[in-house]
Amino acid sequence: MSEEKKYRVESDLLGELKVPADALYGVQTQRGINNYHISRKKMSWYPDFIIAIAYVKLAAVETNHTLGVINDEIAGAISQACRELIDGKHHDNFPIDMMQGGAGTSVNMNANEVIANRALEIMGHDKGDYQYCYPNDHCNCGQSTNDVYPTTIRLALIRMNKSLIAALTGLISAFRYKGDEFKDCIKMGRTQLQDAVPMTSGQEFNAYANNLEEEILNLERNVKLLHEINMGGTAIGTGLNAVPGFAKLCAANLSKLTGEAFESAADLVEATPDTGAYVSYSSALKRLAVKLSKICNDLRLMASGPRCGLNEINLPPKAPGSSIMPGKVNPVIPEVVNQVCFKVIGNDTTVSFAAEAGQLQLNVMEPVITEALFESLIWMKNAIETLTEECVLGITVNKERCLEMVKNSIGIVTALNPYIGYKTSTKIAKEALEANRSVYDIVLEKGLMTQEKLDEALDPKNMLVSHKFMK
């Protein structure tokens, strides 16, 4: 193929540039490709991002068509091009690096150029023959990067949040399943890593499920903040170049197309630079990460051993644990989830700094906010699915080991407080520790309780719930 056939020449403010002849993108996208080699993560890696901007562009063209700004032919071709992107087509034409300057202009123009060139093909014209459909004048009509980009980010996050919640729901179900499986497995509860009072492994695993259930509610509360959009505000929120009525109608069209309850911001000037919703949602991801990491810490502690640790549970063996110590199997799945959680917590800090860095009428740091949030969502979803499938569902309990620790624990003396008093119970505990004897034997020896009442009070099952004092 000749050099001329491999490329077409397009021009912009900075001059002419060669673009691959078969590419749907154009000159401004090519400049973005040339300029940014930072994250090496392409927009094409994130289908929800592309689908989201296609929905935004579709809502915009439908709005402009209704308001008489774009004619039937061009509006129809642009609409078809957008729907093809929504269906998963042409995504390889989004090669832009996720990290970029320009407040997301390269992303917006990438979409404008792909949609324009595909629309040209639909109308029977050549790529780059923009007199019939121009990226800026038609695909970006009544819009700016400064309202398209944040609206796109919001829709992409809303879509990705659904996938995260689906994964989290699966993990919660797995913990509930184990909670039921282990409901009769008595073990020792611990506070500050010291023996406390008895419980069941079922109670422990159900508590994990309930703890994570709260995070679904928190994510849903915070994702609602992302439904306020600034479409129609154009450059700084004043609506310059958008026809009257564009903002509210575009929000209504986007809602109809996506099934999400989008609302046009009451003050578009305020909404354009505001990144508070990202901060809130990132904080919700961080809260989930903190809780999930704690649970993984617990799993690693309970599985410690097998001879010299707690050895209460067994995690599914996934890999030889050492290059030097034969027979060692490490808790690799909880460990990797811990690390993902640390990454999410760090990304939250990035989002906070980037949100704070906004100046005057625009926050140009939205690309790093976007990359951080996308990474957190994808990593967290993948980690949760891995934890569910490769770890939690395969956990078993060492029932006899757990019961033996309860029987030998000093902590069960707490159950005697209502009958012999805290001070006497303290003396019993001290003596049992010093003499390496059982609480049971010392109480009988001192005649503090009858054997019948003592058996009932120290029955592990009677220590699992609140109860009336025995007389």
Local mean pLDDT, 10-residue blocks, the chain (471 residues): 77 92 95 92 96 98 97 98 98 95 93 98 97 96 97 98 98 98 94 91 98 98 97 96 97 98 97 96 98 98 93 92 79 96 98 96 95 98 98 97 88 84 89 86 88 81 66 47
Q: Token pair for residue 402?
A: 């757990």
Shared domain for 136 and 157, answered yes or no, is: no
Q: Is 229 helix (H, G, I), strand (E, B) or coil?
A: strand
Domain boundary among 400, 426, 452: 400
Shared domain for 274 and 368, answered yes or no, is: yes
Shared domain for 36 and 107, answered yes or no, is: yes
Dist. CA 150–CA 281, nearest whole Å: 14
The reported pTM is: 0.93
Shared domain for 449 and 337, answered yes or no, is: no
- What's the gap between Cα 195 and its chain centre? 35
Cα Rg for the chain, rounded, in angstroms?
31
Residue 2 lies in a domain: no
Shared domain for 416 and 394, answered yes or no, is: no
Asked if 81 and 53 count as a contact pair (C-beta separation under 8 A), the reply is no
pLDDT value of position 439: 85
Shared domain for 343 and 376, answered yes or no, is: yes
Shared domain for 87 and 196, answered yes or no, is: no
pLDDT value of position 323: 72
Domain harbouring 62, CATH code = 1.10.275.10
Q: Token pair for residue 319?
A: 């890999």
Shared domain for 78 and 201, answered yes or no, is: no
322 is catalytic: yes
pLDDT value of position 471: 47
CA distances from 404 to 181, 186, 309, 325 (A): 20, 9, 14, 29
Residue 59 lies in a domain: yes
Domain boundary among 400, 431, 446: 400
Shared domain for 218 and 317, answered yes or no, is: yes
Query: Which positions ≥6 away from 120 have C-beta within 8 Å?
Result: 77, 126, 127, 128, 129, 130, 132, 133
Asked if 306 and 300 count as a contact pair (C-beta separation under 8 A), the reply is no
Shared domain for 346 and 415, answered yes or no, is: no
Q: Among 255, 283, 322, 438, which one carries the catalytic annotation?
A: 322
- Count of structural domains within the chain: 3
- 418-435 b/e with 16+ CB inside 10 Å = b? ebbeeebbeebbeebeee
Residue 257 lies in a domain: no
Asked if 138 and 160 count as a contact pair (C-beta separation under 8 A), the reply is no
Taking the CA atoms of 395, 401, 407 and 408 in sequence, report the sign of the dihedral they define: negative
Residue 37 lies in a domain: yes
Dist. CA 63–CA 254, nearest whole Å: 9
Residue 49 lies in a domain: yes
Measuring CA to CA, which residue among 3, 31, 59, 38 is closest to residue 258? 59
Q: What domain range includes position 437? A: 410-463
pLDDT value of position 441: 87
pLDDT value of position 467: 60
CA distances from 173 to 19, 210, 214 (A): 51, 10, 14
Domain boundary among 141, 174, 200: 141
Shared domain for 128 and 224, answered yes or no, is: no
Domain harbouring 374, CATH code = 1.20.200.10
Domain harbouring 426, CATH code = 1.10.40.30
Shared domain for 128 and 222, answered yes or no, is: no
